[in-house]
Every structure is written in C-alpha cells, then in structure tokens.
Amino acid sequence: MAFYTPRERHIADLHEAFRTESIDRRTFFKVAGAAAVASGLSHNAPTPTLAAPRRGLRAQPEANALVYGSPQDISNLDPHTGHDYSIAWGQKAVYDALLRYEGNPGELKPLLATEVVGSPDATTWTIKLADNATFHDGSAVTAEAVQYNFQRMLRKNLGVAWMFATVMDQDSIEVVDPTTLNINLLKPFAPYDAVLPWLFVANPTVVQEHDVDGDEGEAWLKENEAGGGPYTIARWELGSSYEFTRYPEYWFDPENGIKPIDTFVWRIIRESATKRIAMETGEVQYGDWLSPEDLEALAATGQFVANQTPSMTPFAIKLNNQVGPTSDINVRKALSHAFDYEAALEAVSGRGTIMEGPLATGLEPWHKKDLPVLRHDMEAAKAALAASAHPDGFEMDYVYVTGDTTEELFGLILLEKAGELGITVNMVPMVWPDMVATAVEAETAPDSMAVYSGSDYLDPDNFLWQAYHSSQAGFWAAASHYMNPTFDKLLEDARADTNQENRKALYDEAQLMLVNDAVEIWVYTEIPNEAWVPELTDPYTPVMGGDLRTFGYQ
C-alpha cells in the first residue's frame, strides 16, 4: 500500500481524475476542489457546516443596510496610493471624483466637474466645478483643492497615477478661478476625460493636519478618510469588516429617484460556501467571487438575482518575464500550449469567453481578430519546452487569492498539464495585499500569478498600458514585468492620437506583439459570479468598483 502526505494524495487524486475516462470535466472539478480543501491547498479552511436557510432575507433591506460579502480586504483607502476593485468601492463611498461612471456599459456623468472640454488635439482640458460641492467638514471644494489632489497624486506616483503621470506633471494644473481649472498636458492624451473618475478629491486641510514626517497624511489615510463623498467611516476592522454610514449633509443629488443606502458594510468572507450560507440566512445581501455551484444554488432559491452580464475584465496567469524559468520565451510558450482553456471555461460552468489575446473579445472595435494565439496542444508544448533552457522541467509557484475557488481550479489545471511536461507547480494561496507586495520587484514576483485586471475605463489604453508598458512593471496588473521599448512606443503613439482609425491600427500591432512574445497565459473574460437580493436596483457595471450613488433598494 502506498502512503501519501495530504498534498501527495491530492495530486494522486487529480491525476486519477484526468485518467478516468468515465469522469466528465465538471465532475473532475468538484473532485479536485474537494481534494484541494482536504489537502490544505485552500489555506486549511474548514469545510463549513451547511445550515438551513432562515427567514431574515428582507431584514437588512428593510433597515436600508447593505452587507457586501467579499474575500478581498479594503487594504488602503488613500485616494492617491490605493487602487484595486475592493479599494475602489471604499474610495467611491467616501470621496468624490471629478466625473463618475454610471450603468452598463459605463457612461461618463458629472460629479465635482459639471463640464470637461478638451482641445481638438487633446492637449488642453478645461474643467468647470460645481459651485455647491463641500467636504465633510463643510468647507467648499475649490479649484485649488483639486489642484492639490492632482499634485499629491503625481508626487506619490502610486495607485491611479499610472493613468496620469506620463501625460502631466505638477505644473500642468492651472487654477483659473475658484471653480475653473485648465489642464495643460505634456502630450496629447485622447481618453483623458475617461480617467477623471479616478482622481478622488481629498480635503487638503485634513490631509495636512495628519502629515507625519512629510508623508502628506499617507499613513493616516490608509484607514481614515478626508473626503466629501456620500459616506463616512463607522468601523474599520482589517480582515473582518469595513462599515460606512451615509453622510446626511451630502451635497450631490443624482436625481435617480432611488433612496440611498444608509449603512454599507464590506464584510470579508473568504470561502464561497460560507458566503452562500450568509446570503441564504440574510446576513449578506450582495456576494461576489462565488463558485459556479454556489451561484447556481442561490439563483435556484428564487431569492437572489444572479449576474448574467459579461465583464470586459481579462483574467490572465501572469508569467514573470524577467526572472526564473518563465523569463525564457519558449517556457512561456510551453506553458501557454499546455494550459487547457476549454477545461478552464468548463470549470466556471461556461460563464465567460476564452480570450483571444490580451483584450476582451467584446471590447469593440479594439480587439484584434485572428491573432495567432497559443491553444492547448501538448505536442507543441513539449516541442517549445525542448527548445528552452529547461528541457527537463523545473519547479515553479502559482500564486492566487486565498479562498478564490476559480483561481484555485485554474491553478489545478496548470498543475496537471504542466506535470506532463515534467514541470512541478506549487499552489501558493495568498491574501491579495501580500500578492501585490510580492509583485513589486521582478526578483520577488511569482513565476505565475492569477490576476483579474480591472476595468478603470473601457479603452484599450486601460488594459494595455497598466499591464504591459514598461513604466508599470511592478504594478499588480503588470506582475509579468514585460519590458519592450518598441511595444512602449506603440502605446505612447496610440494614446496621443485622436484619430480612431490610427489608434486601432497601433493597438492591433501592439496586440500581435504581445501574443508573439507569449507574455502570459490569457485565459478568459468572466461573467462575474455575483448575486444580490432582488430589492436592489441592478448594481452591476463593467467599470471597477461599485458606486453607491447609483443604486439602492427599490
């Protein structure tokens, strides 16, 4: 009899599942997921005990509170240094931006700015501010306050700065009068108005009051706010919950006829099954990152709306292009050929579209069709590995978000198929802030890392610049550390051109270059596994981070 460690037993079960012709892929994924939990690959979390649903689903809506269940912390609320999807929910709650996105596919709407006008060559932009906007201390939001926020964001050069820093500097912002600014860009930037929803405006006085050793309030702003948005912070418990209370004197009225939510709680629930139980028992009204099985179970109760709207968000397995075995293009080609894309789509119950390169196929007209993408082909994978500097295989890590079942299953697919090439894949679950930290330097970035690249604005510049321009190496979306000056020039020319046909041609060439360099494994764009109680107006938007100004209980 063979004796196995839990991990060895899991891998043995995984191999057996693939070898057994009588087991279909969907059954395999259930077996694999259960084996992962049993072996500790799911961060040793206990399997929750299922409880019968109890009455109470309507209790929170009646109290006009919304509890959102998510596995990802709001790790840094600073408007100029923190940036990811969970952070964006918190920032939009407590801060106002110049513009905002509303609905699907995400339409630009006024907020602090009532008017944004660009010159024909997209180098000069005039911003007119609302004359009644205030911060939480009652002071007015002025052009000087906005100028300070632009300049602080550029000084920090973190978070959302990637959208602004290459086209403007601290001298670019000119105050014309208390409610008017001129932005004089260093170079043309065609989608400049599209990024303005990401300039969150903090109260300069409050920020400066919390300056410690010249940090401009950075340490304090991670867990506190200096905004003027619709909510203030009521509770902040890292790893547990983040509670926001509606600010009664909020100046902005979206005039959408929806009563705003009084209390918003971002509750950390790592495991999908635990989240489903919390939703069934009425403790949570909105859940994200649910497993396909849990989403299906919630929809079957008739008490939840399951999202059916596709995202534009690419999911890729980022491969370190600078350090380790994956710095070899032939290794990257081998892994890209080894990965089973159809199996990945079946793992998510068909809720998504297999990617054909670095842009979502639905991002029209920008996605280039007929790219020579690498597909599952084990013979091609073996040939590519044989041509590499590691023909006999190697050991590599696959890093993914703790508790994210989908990312875990994709890792198991990579583990199984890479194993046929003699490549050992170590499954490494991490909480998201730790993943972000490891990606900063190429020397510490994982060999492979699971990343959903958020949709800040629906332009190819959003997806290609943040993930592949050399200046972004080390940002979590650019965990591959791809650096190519020729590619950089294509993106720089494309974002500076106001002619859409010219931009299209440049982005086509850029997409082809990324595919030829096999930069990473482009897996799919998801139909997000989110569900909510039907009393909520449809909250889904493809732009990253929900905005509580735009939805509430009907």
Q: Cα–Cα distance between 269 and 87 in angstroms, integer?
A: 16
Counting runs of H as helices and runs of E as strands, what totals does the chain give? 18, 21
Residue 418: pLDDT over 90: yes
pTM of structure: 0.79
pLDDT band at 60; cut points 50, 70, 90: low
Q: How far apart are CA 345 and CA 338, in angstroms?
A: 15
Provide the pLDDT confidence category of residue 453 given band limits of 50, 70 and 90.
Answer: confident
Confidence of residue 45 (pLDDT cuts 50, 70, 90): very low
Q: What is the mean pLDDT of the chain?
A: 89
Q: Which residues contact 58 (CB under 8 A, 6 or more apart)?
A: 282, 533, 535
Cα–Cα distance for residue pair 120/221, rounded to 1 Å: 38
Which pLDDT belongs to residue 155? 97
Given a cut of 70, whether residue 226 has pLDDT beyond it is yes
Higher pLDDT, 264 or 23: 264
Highest mean pLDDT among 99-113, 244-258, 412-426: 412-426
Q: Report which of residues 107 and 443 the model is more confident about.
A: 443
Q: At what angle do helices 460-468 and 485-496 cross, to 10 degrees?
A: 150
Indicate if the pLDDT at residue 509 is higher than 50.
yes
Q: Element (H or E) spanning 424, and its range?
A: strand 424-430
Report the amino acid identity of residue 1.
Answer: M
Cα distance between residue 330 and residue 328, in whole Å:
5
pLDDT (mean) for 413-439: 96
**CA Rg value for the chain:** 24
**3-state DSSP percent of the chain in helix, strand and coil, to 5:** 35, 20, 45
Q: Which residue has better confidence, 181 or 34?
A: 181
Q: Which single residue is written with the structure tokens 């890479």?
A: 418
Q: What is the pLDDT of residue 61?
A: 60
**What pLDDT sits at residue 103?**
82
Q: pLDDT exceeding 90 applies to what percent of the chain?
A: 78
Residue 89's φ and ψ, nearest 5 degrees, are -60, -45
- Please determine, for residue 35, whether its predicted confidence score (pLDDT) is greater than 60: no
For residues 93 and 231, the answer to whether their CB atoms sit within 8 Å is yes
Per-residue pLDDT tens over the stretch 311-320:
888 999 999 9
| CB atoms closer than 10 angstroms to residue 434 | 14
pLDDT for 62: 63
**Residue 465 and residue 495 in contact, taking contact as beta carbons nearer than 8 Å:** yes
CATH architecture for segment(s) 314-526 = Roll (3.10)
Q: Name the nearest CA neighbour of 105 among 191, 194, 200.
A: 194
At 78-91, the pLDDT tens digits run: 999 999 899 999 99
Please, what is the angle between helix 500-516 and helix 460-468, to 10°?
Answer: 40
pLDDT at 407: 94
Place of tokens 């602080």: 152
- pLDDT tens for 171-185 read 999 999 999 999 999
CATH topology of domain 72-215: Dipeptide-binding Protein; domain 1 (3.90.76)
For range 426-436, the mean pLDDT: 94
Contact (Cβ atoms closer than 8 angstroms) between residue 281 and residue 53: yes
- Alpha-carbon distances of 48 from 40, 53, 214, 269, rounded to whole Å: 14, 14, 47, 12
- pLDDT of 37 above 70: no
Amino acid identity at 293: E
pLDDT of residue 154: 98
Does the pLDDT value for residue 7 go beyond 50? no
- For residue 312, the Cα-to-chain-centroid distance in whole angstroms is 11
pLDDT in tens, 229-249: 999 999 999 999 999 999 999
Query: Could you tell me the residue ranges of all domains in the chain?
Result: 6-39, 72-215, 314-526
pLDDT higher than 70, residue 321: yes
Strand, helix or coil for residue 227: coil
At 47 the pLDDT is 31
Structure confidence at residue 16 as a pLDDT band (50, 70, 90):
very low
Is residue 43's pLDDT more than 80? no
**pLDDT band per the 50, 70, 90 thresholds, residue 397:** very high
pLDDT at residue 435, as a whole number: 96
Q: Is the pLDDT of residue 33 over 60?
A: no
- For 185-204, the pLDDT digits (tens) are 999 999 999 999 999 999 99
User: DSSP string of 172-206?
Assistant: GEEEEETTEEEEE-SS--TTHHHHGGG-EE--HHH
